Amino acid sequence: MNTIVPAAALRIAVYPGTFDPMTNGHVDLAVRAAPLFDKLVIGIAESPVKNPNFALQDRIDMAREALSGIPNIEVLGFRSLLAHFVAEINASVILRGLRAVSDFEYEFQLASMNRHLIPGAETMFLTPAEQFSFISSSLVREVARLGGDVSSFVPPAVQKRLDKNRAANPG
């Protein structure tokens, strides 16, 4: 069965997450997904329950700097349920990354819940390039906190913020 999409309809996808901080794996996914859509919104969740290391505006600023060269990417913060944000920006696709098989069960649950909450949106999974498959924000935060070099795992804007945080909070 073919579905006809009106010419005026934009294919908008949202790539949601806390991005605390944004890693090169996140950037890789966004860069590879951007050509698939008219617009890709990087939706940065406030997520106070996760107690992020970086304030929402800092995470937005870092993501904007890291993705500034891609014209159809927009970075927005949100403080609501993802379903409400998806409706607000008229997205029809939720982009999620899968690094390993261990991610699948959780992501499958999220996709199923989102299917019920947002019947008009589909979830699409992408895997990162192999060199980024082991990188997670939590690992980057831990290595940086303990004084390790994370420069090959994060964009330069993020590295600057991590260095600044480490200098302000030694030890």
Report the CATH number that the domain containing residue 44 is assigned in CATH.
3.40.50.620
Characterize 126-159 residue by residue with b for buried, 16 or more Cβ atoms within 10 angstroms of its Cβ, and e for exposed: ebbeeebeebbbeebbeebeeeeebeebbbebbb
Position 163 in a domain: no
26 is annotated as an active-site residue: yes
In a domain, 57, yes or no: yes
The pLDDT score that the predictor gives to residue 99 is 85
How far apart CA 110 and CA 37 sit, in angstroms, is: 22
Task: Point out the catalytic residue in the list 32, 39, 64, 99.
Answer: 99
Number of domains forming the structure of the chain: 1
Looking at the chain, the whole-number percentage of residues with pLDDT higher than 90 is 75
Domain enclosing residue 59, as ranges: 12-133
As a whole number of angstroms, the distance between CA 93 and CA 88 comes to 13
Q: Centre a 10 Å sphere on the Cβ of residue 87 and count the other Cβ atoms it contains.
A: 15
Residue 61 forms part of a structural domain:
yes
Instruction: Please confirm, yes or no, whether 50 is among the known catalytic residues.
Output: yes
Is a pLDDT exceeding 50 seen at residue 56? yes
Q: Shortest CA distance to 24 belongs to which of 75, 66, 65, 78?
A: 66
Distance CA 12, CA 83 (A): 14
Greater confidence, 104 or 41?
41
Catalytic pick from 59, 137, 141, 161? Answer: 137
More confident residue, 1 or 128: 128
- Prediction pTM value: 0.90
The answer to whether residue 142 is domain-embedded is no
Task: Give tens-digit pLDDT for 145-167.
Answer: 888 999 999 999 999 999 887 77
**Beta strands 93-97 and 122-126: pairing type?**
parallel
